[in-house]
Amino acid sequence: MNNENIPRIVIEAKKKWRLFDFKELIQYKDLLYFFVLRDITVLYKQTVLGFMWAILNPVFQMVIFSVIFGSLAKISSDGIPYPIFSFTAILPFNYFSQSLSGASASLIGNAGVFTKVYFPRIIIPLTPVISKLADFFIAFLILIAMMIYYNIVPNMNIVFLPLLILLMILTSSGIGMWLSSLSIQYRDVKFAISFITTFLLYAAPVVFPASLVLEKFGYTYYLLYGIYPMAGVIEGFRSSLLGFNPMPWDLILMGSISSVIFFITGAFYFKRTERIFADVA
């Protein structure tokens, strides 16, 4: 056989460094779809209530918060009925915390896959960020029912809701990439994630309004509080859906800046460390 006729495969380093190879991600879109579908179906597989858990979990939290913080502690809710005040915040925060928990464990849970076959590793931490949207939109139906019950009609601020959802996803993706990269190198992250999400819950304006920070500490600290992206997202959800207060554009702007920073640095760190994932998995 003539050696000149034997096909040769040459593997070369990419000439241009990029945070994301979008062309490659498009090529593997079917794999991403499979991972997301698997993430959704496996979570509630062999459960009696199935997707009802996506509703029961936030509803149970709302009841607890309403009794403890609304009735007993008498925390201000800016004139909004406390159950819907808290539920409107629980909805985006639960998505955020569940995405972080899923992303932090994603590389460890899929080590048997990415150590044997090549595909863009970034698909792995992005999977829970996308799959948790299913729970988010299921629970959103309860929020709509509560708005009907309390006779709350959104105003024009409702048009900004997609922007807030995008900011919520961007924040979860950025921090999720950080946590997934760190957790596969340092297994302490797996034990710390429950503490981290609990801390982030009570740091966010879930059981109290962000205006309380403004009243207690002044506008400078209020702006600094906005560095936490979920503060602007949660207050924005309340403004766009319930319409009791104007849109908190100052918080949203600060949160957008920090969210973009989280996303870029998270993607950079993930890209920088992914070459060692197979060695430490």
184 within 8 A of 275, measured Cβ to Cβ: no
DSSP string, the chain: --GGGS--------SS--S--HHHHHHTHHHHHHHHHHHHHHHTTT-SSGGGHHHHHHHHHHHHHIIIIIIIS----TTS-HHHHHHHHHHHHHHHHHHHHHHHHHHHHTHHHHTTS-S-TTHHHHHHHHHHHHHHHHHHHHHHHHHHHTT----GGGGGHHHHHHHHHHHHHHHHHHHHHHHHH-THHHHHHHHHHHHHHHHTTTSS-THHHHHHH-HHHHHHHTTSHHHHHHHHHHHHHH-SS---HHHHHHHHHHHHHHHHHHHHHHHHHGGGHHHH-
The tokens for 215 are 């009243």
Dist CA 253 CA 229 (whole Å): 9
Output 58 or 110, whichever has higher pLDDT. 58
pLDDT score at 117: 80
147 within 8 A of 237, measured Cβ to Cβ: no
| Confidence category of residue 36, pLDDT binned at 50, 70, 90 | very high
What spatial distance separates the first Cα and last Cα of the chain, rounded to whole Å? 43
**Report for 34-43, 76-85, 186-195: range of highest mean pLDDT:** 76-85
Output 185 or 85, whichever has higher pLDDT. 85
Q: What is the average per-residue pLDDT within 221-243?
A: 96
93 within 8 A of 206, measured Cβ to Cβ: yes
Q: Is the pLDDT of residue 147 over 80?
A: yes
Burial of 57 (0-12, 13-18, 19+ CB in 10 A): middle
The tokens for 99 are 């995405």
Task: Report the predicted TM-score, pTM, of the whole model to 2 decimal places.
Answer: 0.90
pLDDT score at 223: 95
| Confidence category of residue 9, pLDDT binned at 50, 70, 90 | low
